[in-house]
Amino acid sequence: MRKATFLRLKLREASFISRALATSRHPVLAHLIPMRRCNLACGYCNEYDHVSAPVALEVVKHRLDKLAALGTSVVTISGGEPMMHPQLDDIIHHIRSRRMIAGLISNGYYFTPERIKRLNKAGLEYLQISIDNVEPDEVSRKSLRVLDKKLRFLSEFADFHVNINSVIGGGIRNPDDALTVAKRAVELGFSTTVGVIHDVDGTLKPLSAKEKEIFQQVKKLGNKDHARLNWFQDSIAEGKPYNWRCRAGARYLYICEDGLVHWCSQQRGYPGIPLDQYTMEDFDREYNTEKWCAPTCTLQCVHQVGILDNWRHPQKTPAQMAQERATQHNPQIPQISQIQE
């Protein structure tokens, strides 16, 4: 990444963080899925299929326009495998033309020098690749041996920030691999992070003693800012619940290929409202409602967005929120607190 591009990106980051701290009434990060299809089939993943068609460019652009109208700061294109979308460059270009930060999450298989140069030209600003192991196995083929050549291409040609995420847990056979992946990422000039992943059924299992030791070593090698923002992972690694305020459905949005807003990739179906019809009333309801799944949640990006508001606006349980709505419509209904007195 050129120095000028790096400095410009840091300025844009500082600006969206100051804006997010100044006001809580806009989405900070949206994950948008233009392609559910994937070329791989990782054993722990519930976010792909092998059949669906790419979402039409005009439909994606319309969704991006709505995200821009809501005041969204960052849009990350995810999947499935978004590099399989034939008009990915146009999608990235449209994100930038609406003055939002453009990110991409990919399994890395489709990077060639020519493709990387096209992404530079489209205006991509962030790329994250998760690498699960050194040698491919039956759980995952997102493997360093397969992807090393692609990483060298990225190191040489990418004019965007590249982060390599290694993973621990979720049935990944050899935890030492996370350390090998992180060392290679640093060697190639990328930032590196480590994630504790959930099992195929979405449940969290505590890490073994060996996994915990590797987890701490990889964290030391990695992005210091990221490590500071991810202290929740220490609790999760111990299998302990973590107390935080998930702002999914408000500050963080997950937009599926059908254009519906969901809390996140792991809680699809809630609230399940079309983005087109999403209002600030929906935003406020989700911002203020406690999420039952928060204590064991492993989704790093949603935790990071949550930090911006953890210090303000305590959340209410769904029952309290429903009671509040009912009281607004009929002021004679007593509040839960009055019943308890």
Bridge partners, 129 (sequence order): 106, 164
- Site residues for ligand SF4, window 100-139 (CB under 6 A)? 107
40 in contact with ligand SF4 (CB under 6 A): yes
Closer by beta carbon to ligand SF4, 39 or else 174: 39
47 in contact with ligand SF4 (CB under 6 A): yes
- Site residues for ligand SF4, window 141-170 (CB under 6 A)? 142
Closer by beta carbon to ligand SF4, 172 or else 297: 297
Helix/strand/coil for 199: coil
- Site residues for ligand SF4, window 202-241 (CB under 6 A)? none
Helix/strand/coil for 316: strand
Q: How many residues touch ligand SF4 (CB under 6 A)?
A: 24
273 in contact with ligand SF4 (CB under 6 A): no
Single out the residue of 28, 45, 119, 147 in contact with ligand SF4 (rule: CB under 6 A): 45
Cα(110)–Cα(153) distance, integer angstroms = 11
DSSP characters for 245-305?
Answer: ---BTTTEEEE-TTSEEES-TTSTTSEEEEGGG--HHHHHHHHHBPPTTGGG---HHHHHH
Helix/strand/coil for 41: coil
299 in contact with ligand SF4 (CB under 6 A): yes
DSSP letter, residue 200? T
253 in contact with ligand SF4 (CB under 6 A): no
94 in contact with ligand SF4 (CB under 6 A): no
79 in contact with ligand SF4 (CB under 6 A): yes
Q: Do the Cβ atoms of 55 and 49 come closer than 8 Å?
A: no
Radius of gyration for the chain, computed over Cα atoms and rounded to the nearest angstrom: 20
301 in contact with ligand SF4 (CB under 6 A): no
Q: Do the Cβ atoms of 173 and 206 come closer than 8 Å?
A: no
308 in contact with ligand SF4 (CB under 6 A): no
Bridge partners, 253 (sequence order): 30
297 in contact with ligand SF4 (CB under 6 A): yes
Residue type, 233: Q
Single out the residue of 30, 38, 101, 144 in contact with ligand SF4 (rule: CB under 6 A): 38
289 in contact with ligand SF4 (CB under 6 A): no
62's tokens = 């319309």
Question: What is the nearest approach in angstroms of ligand SF4 to the Cβ of residue 88?
Answer: 15
Task: Tell me which H or E stretch contains 182.
Answer: helix 176-187
- Residues of this chain that interact with ligand SF4 (CB under 6 A) are 38, 40-42, 45, 47-48, 79-81, 107, 142, 246, 248, 263-264, 266-267, 291, 293-294, 297, 299, 302
